[in-house]
Amino acid sequence: MTEDQFLESLFARLPPPPQSVVVPPGDDCAAIAVGGGRLLLLAVDQVVGGRHFEITGAGAATPEEVGRKLLARNLSDIAAMGGVPKCCLVAVGMSHGRDQQWLRQFFAGLLALAAEYEVDLIGGDLATTPADDVLSLTVTGDVRDRDVVRRSGASAGDALFATGLFGSSLATRHHLLFSPRCREGRWLAENGWAQAMIDVSDGLLLDAQRLCAASKVALELDPEAVPRRTPATSEAAALTDGEDYELLVAIDRERAPELEACWPFADVPLTRIGAFVDGAGPEVVGADGRALLGGRTGGWDHFDM
Amino acid sequence: MTEDQFLESLFARLPPPPQSVVVPPGDDCAAIAVGGGRLLLLAVDQVVGGRHFEITGAGAATPEEVGRKLLARNLSDIAAMGGVPKCCLVAVGMSHGRDQQWLRQFFAGLLALAAEYEVDLIGGDLATTPADDVLSLTVTGDVRDRDVVRRSGASAGDALFATGLFGSSLATRHHLLFSPRCREGRWLAENGWAQAMIDVSDGLLLDAQRLCAASKVALELDPEAVPRRTPATSEAAALTDGEDYELLVAIDRERAPELEACWPFADVPLTRIGAFVDGAGPEVVGADGRALLGGRTGGWDHFDM
């Protein structure tokens, strides 16, 4: 059973949330109406030593990189809703073998990114653990209710665009050093471009499939169009490596050329990589109609049960 | 260095939070103005296997008890601000040795308490860890800005009251099965009784000292007046065992008899246990003037560094 499947079955058995919960669990963030036409976005994510970052060897993450990544993963969730990140709270479960220096450096990395994205750290809980580093962060964000972008808004005929480059995230340390696409997500939301949006944390194919499942459409993807992070990155790696933390966004097909013409962020490519189509299930197929992802055949899940 | 000391030094080095952060880090919750005279309360807390609950032996916590405790600890923080809990998000770092059954039972325990307190689970993140169970939860709450109760409002002359009973929390499994004092905290806040409030998670003396430190007063405590959980509970145990999750509340001395007369919760004792006094530091002394807690001589800190 995957994390998605477990959480889906868990939330399915809960009573329906109150009306103030405008976006219920299952999207990149939950959203709660707070009055004045604004929504409070909330998301939680964690990083686990040996799972989300290497703790030994040449690829070992520095404590600064761990802190940075923990916040960045959460900022990416706010970006995918078209929101502006505001505050965060951190729970540190730190191996008792770590020292105060490690913790200071962890927070230094986290707070440097927080300053860059104008996010306030407003709460924390610290504990030592018998063995593992398990660090979680809850982020809040703000978005106008008319701007919020869900996963569920894509329609057959919409074009699929992606920000940035894909694949080889581990080898290039992109998974530690990426810039969450808050600026881009907000621009796409506030200017009415984004019909549906998701951030790619677990591999392009798997997250594209999640977008399809939420929107009840299928996707025709052009794998060759997916921009790869390095010359050595294979097509398969670009589709399934994960930890790209780029945005996938559904755009009205008629307006796609206009978007390509007016995209204002010269340092971040925006690439048309597919089209949503009618389908019996959330299938992702190539241009030749071959299934790229029907069941679970690619991507990452940090939860194995 | 304790958790308090580390977090204090961390937050002291941050730029001042924006005006919307009405209660900054360092209290039981942070509070953010959301308009309409209301505050959003936010707190995070975690439970770690082998630290906050036993994982083996006769005292081992069931997964239901772990889930219940994780939420209950956080509800207690909302109670201490006089707020009403609303939503929660959970990050599960679960030892890879656990199975799906464990996780289902964990959520069953958490959700049963959530239903009782009318709290909505709106987000979650699941990961498996190499060895440890590290579970964190962020809770949101709601309170009118004029009702919110800080730790810093006690004055010399105020009486100190405590809800409930103290000590022997581990032996009685109270630390797993306690009822967070949300109803009582809200009543004390909404009816203008509470000048300052804190929940007792780390031992009565230590949390009373925190109240003193925030309010810049000292405390004369009557240890004999502190109601003990069981006949076998010693005075020292009642003062330092921790995990009582009761409220300490500062009350205008003139109004103390009126409060005792009108306390509406027959099932939860409210006991006057001391008086705030002027002092050079956040000292807690007995009726004989002997220091009960000056430095760190009692109570619990799940963070040893």
- What is the crossing angle of helices B100-116 and A3-12, to 10°? 30
Average pLDDT, chain A: 94
- Residue A114 phi, psi (nearest 5): -60, -40
Flag whether pLDDT at A257 surpasses 80: yes
Flag whether pLDDT at A138 surpasses 80: yes
User: What six digits make up the tokens of A234?
Assistant: 């294979």
DSSP B25: B
CB contact at 8 A, B52 and A133: no
Touching A: B residues 124-143, CB under 8 Å: 124-132, 134, 136, 138, 140
pLDDT tens string B60-88? 999 999 999 999 999 999 999 999 999 99
CB contact at 8 A, A260 and A270: yes
Read off the pLDDT band of B300 (50, 70, 90): low
pLDDT tens string B34-57? 999 999 999 999 999 999 999 999
Contacting residues of B for A37, CB less than 8 Å apart: none
Give the whole-angstrom CA distance, residue B67 versus residue A108: 31
Q: Is B287 helix (H, G, I), strand (E, B) or coil?
A: coil
CB contact at 8 A, A154 and A215: yes
Does A62 reach chain B within 8 Å, measured CB to CB?
no
Contacting residues of B for A44, CB less than 8 Å apart: 89-91, 123-125, 136, 138
Edge-first strand listing for the sheet containing A291-293 = A196-200, A246-251, A159-163, A270-277, A218-221, A284-285, A291-293
- Cβ of A50: how many Cβ atoms within 10 Å? 14
What does the DSSP assignment read for B157-193? TPEEEEES-BS-TTTTTHHHH----HHHHHHHHHTT-
- Cβ of A8: how many Cβ atoms within 10 Å? 14
pLDDT tens string A54-99? 999 988 999 999 999 999 999 999 999 999 999 999 999 999 989 9
Predicted pLDDT at A288 = 82
Give the whole-angstrom CA distance, residue A211 versus residue A101: 41
Q: Is B138 helix (H, G, I), strand (E, B) or coil?
A: strand
Contacting residues of B for A14, CB less than 8 Å apart: 111, 120-121
pLDDT tens string A140-149? 999 999 999 9
User: What six digits make up the tokens of B134?
Assistant: 């590290």
Q: Which of A223, A200, A225, A208 is nearest to A276 (CA)?
A: A208
Q: Which of A11, A74, A110, A120 should be substituted to probe chain B, the one whose Cβ sees the most B Cβ atoms within 10 Å?
A: A120
pLDDT tens string B253-297? 999 999 999 999 999 999 999 999 998 778 898 878 888 876 444
Name the one residue in this structure whose structure tokens are 């952060």.
B21
Predicted pLDDT at B173 = 95
Does A156 reach chain B within 8 Å, measured CB to CB?
no
DSSP B282: S
- Cβ of B299: how many Cβ atoms within 10 Å? 22
Does B11 reach chain A within 8 Å, measured CB to CB?
yes
What does R_g of chain A's alpha carbons equal in angstroms?
Answer: 19
- Interchain contact, A7 vs B44, CB within 8 Å: no
Flag whether pLDDT at A155 surpasses 60: yes
Q: Which of B1, B30, B34 sits opposite A122 (nearest CB)?
A: B30
Name the one residue in this structure whose structure tokens are 């630290």.
B51
pLDDT tens string B120-163? 999 999 999 999 999 999 999 999 999 999 999 999 999 999 99
Contacting residues of A for B122, CB less than 8 Å apart: 17, 21, 24-25, 30, 32, 42
Q: Is B146 helix (H, G, I), strand (E, B) or coil?
A: coil
Flag whether pLDDT at A297 surpasses 50: no
Flag whether pLDDT at A296 surpasses 70: no
Predicted pLDDT at B294 = 60
- Cβ of B18: how many Cβ atoms within 10 Å? 12
